Amino acid sequence: MSFIRLRGVTKTFRTKSEDVTPLRDLDLDVAEGEMLALMGPSGSGKTTLLNLVAGIDRPTSGTIEVGGEDLGALSARGLARWRNRNMGFVFQQYNLVPVLTAWENVELPLLLLPLSRAERAAKVRTALDAVGLLDRATHAPRALSGGQQQRVAVARALVAGPRLVLADEPTGNLDEEAAGSVLALLRALHERFGQTFVLVTHDPKAAAVAGRVIRLEKGRVIADAAGPRAASPAGAPRP
Please report whether residue 231 resides in a domain.
Answer: no
Please report whether residue 211 resides in a domain.
Answer: yes
pLDDT confidence band for 41 (50 / 70 / 90): confident
| Cα 31 from Cα 234, distance rounded (Å) | 9
- CATH code of the domain in which 24 resides: 3.40.50.300
Residue 233 has pLDDT above 80, yes or no: no
Please compute the mean of the pLDDT values over residues 97-125 and round it to a whole number. 96
Please report whether residue 235 resides in a domain.
Answer: no
pLDDT confidence band for 12 (50 / 70 / 90): very high
Read off the pTM. Answer: 0.86
What is the count of structural domains for the chain? 1
Identify the pLDDT of residue 205. Answer: 87
Please report whether residue 232 resides in a domain.
Answer: no
Please report whether residue 191 resides in a domain.
Answer: yes
Please report whether residue 10 resides in a domain.
Answer: yes
Task: Name the residue range of residue 179's domain.
Answer: 4-226
Please report whether residue 39 resides in a domain.
Answer: yes
Mean pLDDT taken over the chain: 90
pLDDT confidence band for 232 (50 / 70 / 90): very low
Whether the CB-CB separation of 198 and 38 falls below 8 Å is answered with: yes
Please report whether residue 154 resides in a domain.
Answer: yes
| Cα 89 from Cα 94, distance rounded (Å) | 10
| Cα 112 from Cα 119, distance rounded (Å) | 13
